[in-house]
Amino acid sequence: MDNQITKPETLIQWLALLALAILLVVPLGIFGVQMVQASDPYIKSVLARTGDPVQGHAIFQINCAGCHGLEADGRVGPSLQAVSKHKSRYGLIHQVISGETPPMPKFQPSAQEMADLLSYLESL
Tell me the pLDDT of the chain (124 aa) as tens digits: 455 555 667 777 767 777 766 766 666 555 555 555 557 899 999 999 999 999 999 999 999 999 999 999 998 899 999 999 999 999 899 899 988 888 888 889 999 999 999 999 999 9
Whether the CA torsion 100, 104, 109, 115 is positive or negative: it is: negative
Q: Are residues 119 and 59 part of one domain?
A: yes
Describe the crossing of helices 89-98 and 2-39 by its angle, rounded to 10 degrees: 70
What range does the domain containing 30 cover?
1-34
Other Cβ atoms within 10 Å of 106 Cβ, number: 10
Q: Are residues 52 and 7 part of one domain?
A: no
pTM above 0.75, yes or no: no
Q: Are residues 99 and 47 part of one domain?
A: yes
Q: What is the CA radius of gyration of the chain?
A: 22
* 51 close to 109: Cβ distance less than 8 angstroms: no
Q: Are residues 81 and 30 part of one domain?
A: no
